[in-house]
Amino acid sequence: MRITHDPETGHLSARPRGPVARETMQIVVTGGTGFIGRPLCASLCQDGHRVTLLTRRIEAQWPCGSTVTAVEWNGRETGAWEHCLDGADAVINLAGAPIADGRWNDARKQLLIESRVLSTRLLVEALSRCSSKPRMLINASGIGYYGASDDRVLDEGAARGQGFLADLCLAWEAEALRAAEFGIRVVMLRTGMVLEQDGGALLKMLLPFRFFAGGPIMPGTQWVSWIHRHDHIGLIKWVLATPSVSGPLNAVAPEAVTMNRFCDALGRVLHRPSWLPVPGFALRVALGELGTLMTTGQRVRPTKALSGGYVFQYPKLEPALRAILVKEQGGCRKESIPLSP
């Protein structure tokens, strides 16, 4: 066992030792300024790795200061950024416009496609031209690959579903898999709802609970496959250190729950009722096809991670929510609810 300190929650925990990337690696990251990418870069730097960030926001300040090298790219054009791929050990591609930040009209769908499929194609084409190619490409994807599902448990071998997100994930993963043709190990992270209080879906859910108006999105029986951000970052680092892992990898916690159970647990943690359901038809009217995404779900299991030996720090929902939302202050426990999304 070892005692670890989580810089995101401030908690100390004892956990079994697992594989870690012991060597110092040169890692190139795209999408490193976002909800997952920024703390990932900080964690990689804390582990002693050298991180190069491909970003549109070249002027931004990074949490680990000068240990991150920022290189400008726009995800659409070749350029000097390609040189940083040559000789790198790994590439982590998290680039992509947020899925749920706007109604899915034709223009929004095109942005979601271009920011994922076309940027990944550009990246893989650049990798093909490297004289000293990276050993691995870890590419983002989503559990939307499986489409809307019933109570069936879905592992990495489940078939692709139907709908815009399923088609998007298929095209996205296909571009990443082209890197395997020239000897690069490719892992596609099919990610569920990532939980932390400074972004993502959880931040949007907290505000109504703060005003005692929280409740499930109807019908409430749809499955929510989630993961604490700490474990999402942990899975990426585990992949870096585990050469046997390749192909799709479900980045979700072992305990999927229904929307009703999710909101009940959130209410208990916040000492707020979960009583005011959000009608599904209202979401569909307001958000169109995106509203359907919120009223359906998938019951996904991280079979590869579990069988490969990854140890989840937060396998259960309620302890994960407490770690995020309940802070220790002067020996007292205090719920932390952000005032606005």
What are the residue boundaries of the structural domains of the chain, listed by start? 25-322
332 pLDDT more than 70: no
* Single-letter residue type at 189: L
Give 66's pLDDT tier (boundaries 50, 70, 90): low
Mean pLDDT of the region 257-266: 96
Q: What is the pLDDT of residues 32-47, one digit of tens each?
A: 999 999 999 999 999 9
The first and second tokens of residue 275, run together, are 């009583």
Reduced to 3 states (helix: H, G, I; strand: E, B; else coil), residue 10 is coil
| pTM (whole model) above 0.85 | yes
- Of the two residues 287 and 316, the one the predictor is more confident about is 316
Mean pLDDT of the region 285-303: 85
Q: What is the pLDDT of residues 232-255, one digit of tens each?
A: 999 999 999 999 999 999 999 999
Q: DSSP code of 331?
A: T
pLDDT at site 19:
55
Strands (E), the chain: 2-5, 12-15, 26-30, 50-55, 68-72, 90-93, 136-142, 153-154, 185-191, 193-195, 223-224, 226-228, 247-251, 257-258, 299-300, 326-329, 332-335
Q: What is the pLDDT of residues 124-183, one digit of tens each?
A: 999 999 999 999 999 999 999 999 999 999 999 999 999 999 999 999 999 999 999 999
Superfamily for domain range 25-322: NAD(P)-binding Rossmann-like Domain (3.40.50.720)
331 pLDDT more than 60: no
- Looking at the DSSP bridge assignments, the partners of residue 264 are none
User: What DSSP string runs through 219-254?
Assistant: TS-SEE-EEEHHHHHHHHHHHHT-TT--EEEEES-S
- Looking at the DSSP bridge assignments, the partners of residue 47 are none
pLDDT at site 102:
81
Mean pLDDT of the region 119-123: 97
Question: From CA 253, how far away is CA 192, in angstroms rounded?
Answer: 9
pLDDT at site 330:
40
225 pLDDT more than 90: yes
Helix (H) or strand (E) holding 268: helix 259-270
The first and second tokens of residue 94, run together, are 């998290």
**What percentage of the chain exceeds 70 in pLDDT?**
87
Main-chain dihedrals φ then ψ at residue 239, nearest 5 degrees: -60, -40
Q: Are 157 and 125 spatial neighbours (Cβ–Cβ below 8 Å)?
A: no
**Best CA proximity match to 144, nearest among 118, 115, 173:** 173
pLDDT at site 101:
84
User: What integer best gives the mean pLDDT of the chain?
Assistant: 88
CB atoms within 10 A of CB 268: 14
Q: What is the pLDDT of residues 183-209, one digit of tens each?
A: 999 999 999 999 999 999 999 899 899
pLDDT at site 59:
63
CA contacts within 13 A on the Cβ side of 97: 19
Question: From CA 287, how far away is CA 260, in angstroms rounded?
Answer: 21
CA contacts within 13 A on the Cβ side of 93: 32
Range in 36-40, 112-116, 119-123, 329-333 the model is least confident about: 329-333
Range in 5-19, 87-101, 148-162, 167-181 the model is least confident about: 5-19
266 pLDDT more than 90: yes
